[in-house]
Each structure stands twice: as structure tokens, then as C-alpha cells.
């Protein structure tokens, strides 16, 4: 029996009638969910990782649909950041819970007229620079599986470490250009399969936490990165954090969100407060991850 069938069976055991939606192309996710919304469906259960949640966001933001998440992906940072268990059986029960919590979402609007498009969204963390390159490398690896691929990708990218130039404008401040190693914009604390890059980010405060790592050498960054798993990196003099409601980014590096490429390098980032309705009790402090 496939994992999808097992999940459907366990949901049925809980008294739910489930229509299993299989898609041949990731680009179909949001459109298919939109059709379900129009047909009257009021709860969507997403079984997958951060990338699957990301693909579903355009159809879920500011809707009445309740979203359940069964974290069976590589990183599962969205659930980790909300305190939702990644134990499949517990996650299934959470996904159909009567408890529903509003969760903020990051909205990213491209600044390029040539690439004008509908808003893009991030559930967990948006990033660029070294961390974006790590994402790209990790996505291309077939081995190892799981979060270890991020470790391998990090080691590979450290060999060619170099700063990037980016313009940043916090809230209504003017955009100022500066060299950085990488930056992370956190709606929730985690990215990269359990790295607590924005340790104080909250999913329900209407704010984003922007962590910037100044230009550093490979040896220094290699010392800082292990601290990120425990959120202890903010004490390093090369690391700064700023909390804001909006952020303007101007640069040449591609932006990534929830581990997925956005195809833009300049954007206005803002917070959509409580835009996602998530099933289950959210408890970051008490969450356990097997």
C-alpha cells in the first residue's frame, strides 16, 4: 500500500471521507485547490514538505479553507516552526482537528515591470545569497536523502563562498546597498531542515524577522552555521537581526521561499496577518520531532 493510501485509510478511520488528489505537475497544485474551493470544499489536507505547502499557498491565502498539513517532506520546517508534529499518525489527527489557528504569510511582489505578476508567498522563510545557493544545490542532489542533503550542499557551497550586493529598505526607510553573505526573512524560525535561522520569529505577530550575515570567510561561516541549529548565531558580530512589517529588496541574486526558487531578484515583502487557517494546536515549545 502506498503512503498516500495509508494516509487516506487513517483519515477514513477518523470518520472522514477523502478525495485523493494526485497531480502530474507541481504547477497544477494551486489551480486544483482553487477548483476545489469553488466547489465548496472547506478543508484541504496537504501531505508533503515545505515545497508542497508553498505551491498550495496562492489558493489558500485569505480563504475560508482550513489547511491541514501532514509533514512527509525533506525539511518540514513549516510544521516545525508552528510546533506541529512530524509524526505521521499525530499529524493526520492534527490535520482534521477542530482547532484552527490563523497564521501569517509573507507576500512577495516583484519590483520588475518585465516580470510583473501576481503576488508570491512564503509560509516559513524567504532567503537569498549563500543560503539560496545551498537550496539550489540541495534540490539537485539525489543522495543523501532527508535533511542531510542540506549539510552536503552547504559544504559544497562553502568552497566558492563570496558576498553578494543587495539593497535593503526596512519599512519606510530608503533602500541602502550593502554586501552580505546571505539573508533570511522569517515568518517562522526554521529553514534548511531544522536550522533555527530566525529564532524569535512568530507566525502570528504581523512582523517578519530579517537576519543578515555580513561578508565573512568560509572558515568563519563554517563556525557560525552549526550554531544556527540551536538559534545561537545571533551573538556573532557578523550577524544582525531586524524586525519589520515590510522590506524592499533590490539585487541580482534570485530569491527563494520555503526552499523553492521564485524567479525574481527584487521584491517588496510584506506580512499578510492571519492569512492562512491551519488545523491543529500550534505549540512551538512542546513540539517533538522524531
Condensed to tens digits (0 to 9), the pLDDT of residues 40-91 reads: 999 999 999 999 999 999 999 999 999 999 999 888 999 999 999 989 999 9
In percent, the amount of the chain with pLDDT more than 70 equals 96
- Is the model's pLDDT at 104 over the cut of 80? yes
Closest CA to 249 of 262, 234, 238, 258: 262
Task: Residue count of the chain, please give it.
Answer: 290
Q: What predicted TM-score, i.e. pTM, was given to this entire model?
A: 0.92
Tell me the pLDDT tens digit for each residue of 179-197. Answer: 999 999 999 999 988 999 9
In this prediction, residue 116 carries a pLDDT of 58
What sign for the dihedral angle of Cα 99, 229, 252, 140?
Answer: negative
The whole-angstrom separation of Cα 246 and Cα 248 is 7
The answer to whether the beta carbons of residues 30 and 51 sit under 8 Å apart is: no
Closest CA to 269 of 280, 256, 278, 279: 256
What is the DSSP secondary structure assignment for residue 136, as one 8-state letter? H
Look up residue 153 and give its three cell numbers: 550542499
Domains by residue range for the chain, with CATH? 3-104 (3.40.50.10330), 106-272 (2.60.200.40)
The whole-angstrom separation of Cα 263 and Cα 266 is 10
The answer to whether the beta carbons of residues 191 and 153 sit under 8 Å apart is: no
Tell me the pLDDT tens digit for each residue of 131-156. Answer: 999 888 888 887 787 778 888 888 89
Amino acid at each position: 500500500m502506498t503512503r498516500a493510501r495509508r494516509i487516506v485509510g487513517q483519515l477514513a478511520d477518523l470518520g472522514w471521507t477523502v478525495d485523493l488528489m494526485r497531480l502530474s505537475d507541481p504547477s497544477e497544485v494551486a489551480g486544483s485547490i482553487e477548483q476545489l474551493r469553488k466547489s465548496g470544499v472547506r478543508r484541504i489536507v496537504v501531505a508533503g514538505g515545505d515545497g508542497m505547502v508553498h505551491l498550495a499557498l496562492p489558493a489558500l491565502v485569505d480563504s475560508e479553507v482550513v489547511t491541514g498539513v501532514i509533514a512527509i517532506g525533506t525539511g518540514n520546517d513549516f510544521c516545525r516552526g508552528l510546533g506541529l508534529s512530524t509524526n505521521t499518525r499525530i499529524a493526520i489527527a492534527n490535520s482534521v482537528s477542530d482547532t484552527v489557528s490563523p497564521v501569517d504569510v509573507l507576500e512577495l511582489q516583484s519590483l520588475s515591470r518585465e516580470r510583473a505578476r501576481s503576488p508570491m508567498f512564503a509560509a516559513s522563510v524567504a532567503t537569498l545569497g549563500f543560503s539560496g545557493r545551498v537550496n539550489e544545490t540541495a534540490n539537485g542532489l539525489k543522495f543523501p536523502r532527508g535533511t542531510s542533503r542540506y549539510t552536503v550542499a552547504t559544504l559544497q557551497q562553502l568552497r566558492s563562498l563570496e558576498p553578494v550586493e543587495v539593497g535593503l529598505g526596512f519599512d519606510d526607510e530608503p533602500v541602502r546597498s550593502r554586501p552580505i553573505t546571505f539573508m533570511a526573512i522569517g515568518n517562522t524560525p526554521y529553514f534548511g531542515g531544522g536550522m533555527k535561522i530566525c529564532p524569535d520569529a512568530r507566525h502570528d505577530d504581523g512582523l517578519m524577522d530579517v537576519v543578515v550575515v555580513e561578508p565573512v570567510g568560509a572558515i568563519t561561516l563554517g563556525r557560525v552555521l552549526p550554531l544556527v541549529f540551536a538559534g545561537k548565531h545571533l551573538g556573532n558580530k557578523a550577524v544582525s537581526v531586524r524586525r519589520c512589517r515590510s522590506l524592499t529588496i533590490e539585487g541580482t541574486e534570485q530569491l527563494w521561499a520555503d526552499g523553492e526558487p521564485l524567479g525574481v531578484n527584487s521584491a517588496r515583502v510584506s506580512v499578510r496577518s492571519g492569512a492562512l487557517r491551519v488545523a491543529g494546536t500550534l505549540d512551538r515549545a512542546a513540539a517533538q520531532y522524531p
